[in-house]
Structure 1
Amino acid sequence: MSKFYWSVDFDNCNVGDNFSYEIEGWVLTESGKKVTVSVQADTDETFEYRVKRKNRVDLRNVLKTLEIPSDAGFTVSIDKIYKLRDLGCTYLELIADDGEEKQTIFHKELQKILEEGGTTTLEGNLDIQEKKDDRMILWGWAYDKYDNAKIEVLDSNGQPVPFKMKREVRNDVNRLFHLDKERKCGYILSIRRQDVRARKIIIRISNKMTSKEFPIDMKKFDRDNTTIGKYLKVLGPSRFKENRKRIKETGLQDFRYYAIKEMNRHVSDYDIWLADHKLSEKELKKQREHRFEYEPKISIVIPLYNTPLDFLKALIDSIQSQTYANWQLCLADGSNNGQVGPFIQRMYGKEKRISYVLLEKNEGISENTNGAIRIADGDFIMFSDHDDTVAPNALYEIVKALNEDRETDVVYTDEDKVTMDGKTYYDPHFKPDFNLDLLRSNNYICHIFVVKKDIVNQVGLLRKEYDGAQDFDFILRCCEKAHKIKHIPKVLYHWRNHPASTAGDPTSKMYAYEAGRAAVAAHFERIGMKAEVTMTDQFGRYRTRLLVEGEPLISILIPNKDHKEDLEKCIRSIYEKSTYRNFEILVIENNSETEEIFSFYEQLKKEHSNLRILNWKKPFNYSAINNFGAEHARGEYLVLLNNDIEVKTEDWMEEMLGYCQREDVGIVGAKLLFPDERIQHAGIIVGLGPSGTAGHIFYTFPNDVFTYAGKTSSTQDLSAVTAACMMTKKSLYQKIGGMDEAFAVAFNDVDYCLRVREQNKLVVYQAFVEMYHYESVTRGYEDKPENAKRFEQETKRFKKRWAKILKAGDPYYNPNLTKTRNDCVIRS
């Protein structure tokens, strides 16, 4: 009788293309006979598997009294393991056979094998269960690493329940599992309530290996989705303590928003915002009765071309509904279907404020719009597309703004999109106040755009060569001539989202993006600025490289205390990667304690003739240290640089210098990234963050994610940027006294930026200069008692000095966006 020795070391599903199941181990007999290994299952059907034998020399140290054959080890592989289920198999066994006896050395249920393999790749959840009208609306997500997870709806008897499904991107899931940012793991299921007759339904997600189920008790679902059920779920006794704490922390207004959202989770944040900001009939009536001191005529110019009559009616009706009455609607019709003109005459023939002209032929959007401008006799020109709509208070708000400052030449507003049926408003574009460099990056103004007729007379009409971006070219020309540009942070225009429009499908009009690039290039040519304008991979967004004039000396100031490795990485990257060569580096030594750093200083001085070591022997004060460095700088431009910065963009100095050389610019900042490519700095918003002082926008967001309105990827003007990598004119730095030394650690850079803004100079965030930042490795975070106290004092000082801007709000950040988070969600 043979005595078998064996071990199954592990079994594992390699859930890849082949869904291979592997069992690995060893087997031998006391007598040393040759042993074969085979797979058996409780099915009469045949299936393929592979057995690979191998040497296990490691066994000699364990089984010293036995002879270890050269093929004692084995690996059994079965591809597409899930197919055994279709063959009726319920278990697998490994059988060892020495020719005389057989021994079962492994047994496992197939279901367990599949579950163990599948659960390593199948993830999902049912997040929200709501009832909307007569339908169940279910939100969740399902993710399978190697396959598309299957989603089913079953009743308690296992019978399918009919449903509709929409897949959507879930950024939170994609980030959690490190998936492609475009992967649609999210699902929204819509089920007619009358189609569910069972007491329970099951949402099942599955892959080829296993499944997960999420049961829904229909009695509880119906109860929870009554008005009283929703109320108790959010405001009932069980939530009393939690709600009281929330009110205390966030205030009653924020709690109201939270409660509405929780009770109506199928309603978007923007739906709630719209409801909160919708004007009542009483308010609209009050506007109609109001008389302004200055009541200019607004001529609304619209080109028509075979406009669908229902869309045209919606547009004209929205203009007739305006609460401000002194307007003129100028319609230039290039249609060839013979329907538009008769429709306007039939429906609006008695409206004297409508001016209609039938063009001899359709000459394209620019010339057709020019036809409308030619019949305009108003004081201001307003532009609109032929199938969009405007809010009833749009003209009232525009004229109100003109009365607040009679020198205003241009007015623009916020906007959103509306579905083709005109029922759902979404994707609001909450814009900053006038932002010249953002406008050069993208036509963020778009709608509504209103310009004084005198400006139009100066710049001329729309230009056909820019068709597709004719409005962008026109806006740029008008803004070049305007003295004052006013932004109204209210959604007053609704852009209808056609499947083939740039609002809905950016790839449908590539010619328009090239026309936009040409418009920006022409703008720079008109103002005499040498620039290279290129398209980016984000359609409709442009990169402008301003060409450096001459080769001025740049002084790079780097404060340092110890941290030899960080400083070495920083300086090496400057010398090895930078393409601009006319610079000097001033390392400002501040009370280092290690011998290696002083040895490194000596090494640096020997290696680089344009590097100096300055000694600041007083206590650490970031502002004072940089001021000290600036006194010794020989350059025309200063770069304030942390010692934990590493160069990524090779032409970073040229990119920043090109902007900093402009007369209207005082500071240029860069995009800073953590080593894992997450964003550390993409601009600073005043008033953002828990302290209500200033915060980094989109902090820790992935660099390759398109953020709200392209904020992180578009060069633009801001109120502040970080001094971890900041270029500024030395003359300006000296003029305003450098950094305020009262801000030893915190807010010194923001304070400096705001004082530069007081000099009517711009602060530019250069989105195409990227540097790595190993944030605060030198001095650490504000976690010590003395640091916390100092931070509190500097916070109070900042709030007192900049109380005006904190109250009014950062002009480069829309007041409809939250300041409690850094991701530009709607303010509750």
Structure 2
Amino acid sequence: MKKIKFCVDQAVYKNIPGHRYIKINGWILSSEEDTIQVFSVLNGKQIHHKRFAVERPDVQKKFKRQHVRLKSGFDIKIDLGEIVPEEYRLYVKKNGVTQKLYKLDSSDFAEIEDRKSLTLNVDGIYIDKDHIVVNGWSVSQTDRDIQFKVTDSQGEEVELSMELRKREDLYKLRLTDKKHILCGFKATFLYDRDKEYILEVTDTVDKKTLSLVPGELWKARRYEARKGFIIQAAKKFKLKNIYKVYRYIAENGVRGLKGYLIERINSNVKPYDEWFKEHQLTDKEIEAQKKKRFDYQPKISIVVPTYNTPLNFLQEMIESVQNQTYANWELCIGDGSEGNQELEEALRTYQEKDSRIKYKILPKNLGISGNTNGALELATGDYVGLLDHDDALAVNALYEVVNALQEADYDVLYTDEDMTSYDMKIHKDPKFKPDFSIDLLCSHNYITHFFVVKTEIIRRIGGFRSEFDGSQDYDLIFRCVEQAKQIKHIPKILYYWRMHENSVAGNPASKMYAYEAGKRAIEEHFKRTGVAATVEHTDLWGMYHVIYETPGDPLVSIVIPNKDHIEDLEKCISSVQERSSYKNIEFIIVENNSEQDKTFAYYEELEQRYGNVKVVYWKKEFNYSAINNFGVQYAKGDYLLFLNNDTEIINETAISEMLGCCMREDVGVVGAKLLYEDDTIQHAGVVIGIGGFAGHVFVGLDKDDYGYMVRPRINCNYSAVTAACMMTPKEDFLSVGGFTEEFAVALNDVDYCLKIREKGKWVVYNAFSLWHHYESKSRGYEDTPEKIRRFENEINKFRKKWKEILDNGDPFYNSNFSLEKEPFNL
């Protein structure tokens, strides 16, 4: 009899009152044709157990020749109740043959018995500039909340920022259940290299601790930084770059190259707090701003809701307004503290000393929206600015707003911001934002602070709505930008958001009601603007996934240039045909200069196999733009998807995700998230100016990495995306003359996107349309002298044509970021 191949990975005997069970997981080698039954015998009697099939791609890969089913894993749980386990046997019956897989006797139960209620797993610990970051997950068998705390070597508690995350991966592996799916965490705190730290995790019944030594982490960080830099550099290496390396070694030696690489790595790790201090106004600049007399001097009403505000917070907030270098302001405070005499006295004192300060004692606490509306009733200014009672403004905040208003009659203005420590002495976590980005706004409230709007607009829309408390600013911002004709982003850190235990900044997962209100704010925005879409939470709290409908399910024409490489083309086409849930598609294969007879035989077979595939023949020299323009002539669809032949669809909704965005009237181009074969990012948007012309961002990051401000993980706008996978309405394509044919090889996609931007339409990066891109397999890199000259010639043409955006900067890339370093670095 042939033995069944299997493995038991883990056996657990949990013995906690109310939570007594045996849990066993592992895998059984089986194919889709095999019949598998698993049963348990406890203390001599067959007993009911819960069994879940678990996906095990690792097993499938290890035994790839045996056609193992994906769900070859098992997770078995036996609830014990009051039963005392003495012996346990696990049996499997495969195709009628029974075999004992596993056994536990009383001595085994004594050895594996677990009376602890808390599980803590750490996925990674690393240093991010001036912070230590701990990623992991923790589950409690009790129904108590899990608490996190960090103390230093002197026993002093350290301010800790916590993010809780959904862990769908653990649920799929049956390592947690639906009830505990929000078990992932990211713990971040500011560190001192001379101290050691302890992370304590507790559910009040059980406790786990983790030692964190900055010196040891720095050693690991240097190694990982160098390794990561070399890996990313290797992915970008082309022949001409290798020649540069050889020349560099010849001139500077291997040690010199090593020093250069380390310098490149370390150049990007300057602590933000240090950068912040270097960019503060000098006393001379402050005095010059105070003396400045603008032609247009609007009054700005700053509205603040207060509720039992600590007096030190109140003082710092008010003084940050009084210290403004622009003087035509009023501070309007709506207080709902209900008889807080100490706070009322403080407000009265401030008002007596400065008539620009107004306050209103409300009859009761009306919530954050009601209290803010109370403050808004006092406003007499031309513009209204929003300020929270525990935050502060930079000294030049209002000056910069009014300075911007000299250039145009803006309806809405917003600035960059950062977070501060409790005492506001340390600045961290800067939010260097793009110019107005509607898709980013529909993914999360990236605008937040400092937000300024015309008073007439905020009154017209009716102020704040209490039913959106928790995300009342988000709802208000949507309604304001819907009314705005001109929106201005000021790329300066002008708002300081204080982190403390009661703020969303300090513990975002503590306010689930706020995220639900945020979801409703987006949904209401779509209702008002007539957009058919569904809004879902992502596994990152406060980030949303908008799924746009595709009314009428129009035909999508997929245009793929091809020269030989039929294995790549087959993988590309078959992956879309088999995996895509969107079926109204056609393929236009543009054959250009293939040299192998088998390629043409394959074309015939392909057209016979699929009724939606058409091969057309381009007989001139290679010109990417001209080839695709030629292919479009044969396209019957209203929407065009330009696709490289070395791509492969990953998720079944990849095309419908792109199409939903593309069918919006305000959108002209949609790009996708493209991954290398190792599931690191190849494309997640293009920024104009990087490298002197244009470059991809987030290259080499893991597909699940958050990146800067979570942009690789959510939909947002860029100036351009790659045409390796790019969708556009055919009407727009024809209206701008298609791809510009003078860009035969390089920058044709970026040029096309910029032409669409000139029409006033958005370019959208859709993070939920996932594809593998094996990159330039068909044509190779620009690695010969002739190709390099052609490439450089097209770059020069691009620089000449798009000089304005290169000079002024990409609107979707903050001007504080360097164009010379890796993207999103100061």
The TM-score normalised by the length of structure 1 is 0.70
Any conservation in 1 of the 2:131–2:189 contact (CA below 8 Å)?
A: no
1:595 to 589, 594, 597: 597
Cα drift, residue 651 of structure 1: 2.1
Q: Which amino acid aligns with 2:506?
A: G
Give the root-mean-square deviation of aligned CA atoms.
3.8
Q: Is the 8 A contact 1:167 1:188 kept in 2?
A: no
Question: Using a 3 Å threshold, how does the CA distance of structure 1 residues 709 and 183 change in structure 2: closer, same or farther?
Answer: closer
Alignment of 1:666-745 (within 5 A): 666-688=668-690, 691-745=691-745
- Rounded to whole Å, the distance in 2 between the matches of 1:140 and 1:538 is 16
Quick check: 1:668–1:763 contact (8 Å CA) kept in 2? Answer: yes
The amino acid that maps onto 1:276 is: E
CA separation of 1:779 and 1:164: change in aligned 2, threshold 3 A: farther
Deviation at 1:729, TM superposition (A): 1.1
Q: Does residue 1:353 correspond to 2:365, yes or no? A: no
Structure 1 Cα separation of the partners of residues 678 and 160 of structure 2: 26
Q: Distance in 1 between matches of 2:189 and 2:285?
A: 41
Q: Paired residue for 2:342?
A: 339
State yes or no: 1:391 paired with 2:394: yes
SS of equivalent to 1:632:
coil
The equivalent of 2:457 in structure 1 is 455
Q: Following superposition of structure 1 onto structure 2, how do residues 118-197 of structure 1 map, counting pairs within 5 Å? A: 191=194
Amino acid in the other structure paired with 1:319: V
Q: CA deviation at 1:748?
A: 0.6
Which amino acid in 1 is paired with 2:784? K
CA distance in 2, matches of 1:810, 1:126: 31
1:374 aligns with 2:367: no
Question: Secondary structure of 2:511's match?
Answer: helix
Partner Cα separation in structure 2 for residue 344 and residue 546 of structure 1: 48
Q: CA deviation at 1:186?
A: 12
Which structure 1 residue ranges, 5 or more long, are not aligned? Answer: 1-15, 18-123, 131-136, 144-160, 170-179, 194-206, 217-240
Per-residue Cα deviation, 1:205-262 (whole angstroms, up to 9, x for no partner):
xx9xxxx999x9xxxxxxxxxxxxxxxxxxxxxxxx99xx99x999xxxx9x999x89
Please say if residues 652 and 769 of structure 1, whose CA atoms lie closer than 8 Å, have aligned partners that are also in contact: yes
Asked if the contact 2:704/2:713 (under 8 Å) is kept, the reply is no
The residue identity in structure 2 corresponding to 1:814 is N
Q: Residue 551 of structure 1: CA displacement?
A: 2.4
Deviation of 1:418 after TM superposition, in Å, equals 0.7
Secondary structure of 1:753's partner? helix
Structure 1 residue aligned with 2:312, among 310, 313, 318? 310
Alpha-carbon spacing, 1:431–1:139, altered in 2? closer, same or farther (3 Å): closer
Structure-2 separation of matches of 1:272 and 1:184: 22
Change (3 A) 1:494 1:791: same
Rounded to whole Å, the distance in 2 between the matches of 1:213 and 1:492 is 36
2:235 is aligned to none
Residue 544 of structure 1: how far off its partner (Å) = 0.7
Tell me by how many angstroms 1:126 deviates.
13
Distance 1:249 1:393, change over 3 A: farther
After superposition, give the CA deviation of every residue in 1:178-218 in whole Å (9 maximum; x if it has no partner). Answer: xx99799999665589xxxxxxxxxxxxx9xxxx999x9xx
Contact 1:390–1:494 (8 Å) recurs in 2: yes
List per-residue Cα deviations over 1:612-632 (Å, max 9, x = no partner).
100111121111110000112
After superposition, the C-alpha distances for 1:677-731 in whole angstroms (9 at most, x for unaligned) are 111111101111xx31111110010011111101111111110000011111111
| In 2, Cα distance between equivalents of 1:398 and 1:167 | 32
Q: Per-residue CA shift, 1:97-145, capped at 9, x if unaligned? A: xxxxxxxxxxxxxxxxxxxxxxxxxxx99999x9xxxxxx99999x9xx
The whole-number CA distance in structure 2 between the counterparts of 1:165 and 1:534 is 37
Query: What is the aligned partner in structure 1 of residue 246 from structure 2?
Result: none
Moved over 6 A (4+): 124-128, 137-141, 161-169, 180-187
CA distance in 1: counterparts of 2:399 and 2:808, whole angstroms: 22
Q: 1:183 & 1:488 partners in 2: Cα distance?
A: 30
CA contact (8 A) 2:386 2:449 kept: yes
The answer to whether the aligner puts 1:630 opposite 2:626 as a matched pair is no
1:482-527 per-residue CA deviation (whole Å, 9 max, x = no partner) reads: 0000000000000000123221111100110000000000000001
Q: Does 1:427 align with 2:423?
A: no
Kept after mapping to 2: 8 A contact 1:138/1:190: no
Supply the distance in 1 between the matched residues of 2:342 and 2:702 (Cα, whole angstroms): 51
Specify the code of the residue in structure 2 equivalent to 1:716.
C
Rounded to whole Å, the distance in 1 between the matches of 2:288 and 2:265 is 31
Cα distance change on mapping 1:468 and 1:561 into 2, 3 Å? same
Cα distance in 2 for residues equivalent to 1:699 and 1:387 = 38
Query: Which residue number in structure 2 is paired with residue 497 of structure 1?
Result: 499
State the match for 1:799 in structure 2.
Answer: 799
User: Unpaired runs of 5+ in structure 2?
Assistant: 1-9, 12-123, 137-152, 162-182, 197-209, 220-251
- Aligned residue number for residue 277 of structure 2: 275
* CA displacement at 1:742 relative to structure 2: 1.2
Displacement of 1:379: 0.6
Distance in 2 (CA, whole Å) between partners of 1:602 and 1:700 is: 38
Alignment-mate amino acid for residue 327 of structure 1? W
Structure 1 pair 127/651, CA: closer, same or farther in 2 (3 Å)?
closer
Give the SS at the match of 2:406: helix
* Corresponding residue of 2:118: none
How far the C-alpha of 1:422 sits from its partner, in A, is 1.4
SS at match of 2:660: helix
CA change 1:188–1:478 in 2 (3 A) is closer
8 A contact 1:553–1:584 mirrored in 2: yes
Query: Is contact 2:305-2:388 (8 Å) kept?
Result: yes
Distance 2:493 2:125 in 1: 35
**1:615 correspondence with 2:649:** no
Q: Is the 8 A contact 1:561 1:591 kept in 2?
A: yes
CA separation in 2, counterparts of 1:307 and 1:430? 29
| CA deviation after TM superposition for structure 1 residue 167, in Å | 13
Match of 1:299 among 291, 298, 301: 301
Q: Secondary structure at the match of 1:810?
A: coil
Structure-2 change in CA distance of 1:379 and 1:162 (3 Å)? closer
SS of 2:515's equivalent in the other structure is helix
Judge conservation of contact 2:298–2:402 (CA < 8 Å) in 1.
yes
Measure the CA separation in 2 of the matches of 1:607 and 1:412.
55
Deviation at 1:597, TM superposition (A): 1.6
Instruction: For residue 349 of structure 1, give the secondary structure of its aligned residue in structure 2.
Output: helix
What residue is the counterpart of 1:98 in the other structure? none
Amino acid at match of 2:749: D
Cα displacement string for residues 149-178 of structure 1 (whole angstroms, at most 9, x for unaligned residues): xxxxxxxxxxxx989998999xxxxxxxxx
What is aligned with 2:224?
none
Structure possessing the higher radius of gyration over alpha carbons: 1
What is the deviation of 1:476? 0.1
Match runs of 1:517-528 below 5 Å: 517-528=519-530
1:577 is matched with which residue: 565, 568, 579? 579
Of residues 337-346 and 618-627 in structure 1, the stretch that sits farther from structure 2 once superposed is 337-346
Q: Which residue of 1 aligns with 2:779?
A: 779
CA contact (8 A) 2:534 2:548 kept: yes
**Selected match of 1:648 from 640, 647, 650:** 650
The alignment's TM-score, normalised by the length of structure 2, stands at 0.70
Matched residues, number = 620
Identity %: 49
Letter in 1 for 2:565: H
**Aligned equivalents of 1:432 and 1:354: distance in 2?**
33
User: Would the alpha carbon gap of residues 127 and 740 (structure 1) be closer, same or farther in structure 2, given more than 3 Å must change?
Assistant: closer
The 1:165–1:621 alpha-carbon spacing in structure 2 relative to 1, beyond 3 Å, is: farther
Aligned to 1:284: 286
Query: What is the DSSP-based 3-state SS (H/G/I as helix, E as strand, rest coil) of the residue aligned with 2:419?
Result: strand
SS in 1 for 2:526: helix
Tell me, yes or no, if the aligned pair for 1:327 and 1:353 is still in contact at 8 Å: yes
- Retained in 2: the 8 A contact 1:164–1:189? no
Q: Once the two structures are superposed, what CA deviation does each residue of 1:459-482 show, in whole Å capped at 9, x if it has no partner?
A: 111001100000100000000000
Q: Contact 1:303–1:369 at 8 Å: present in 2 too?
A: yes
* Structure 2 Cα separation of the partners of residues 503 and 138 of structure 1: 16
The alignment partner of 2:353 has SS state of: coil
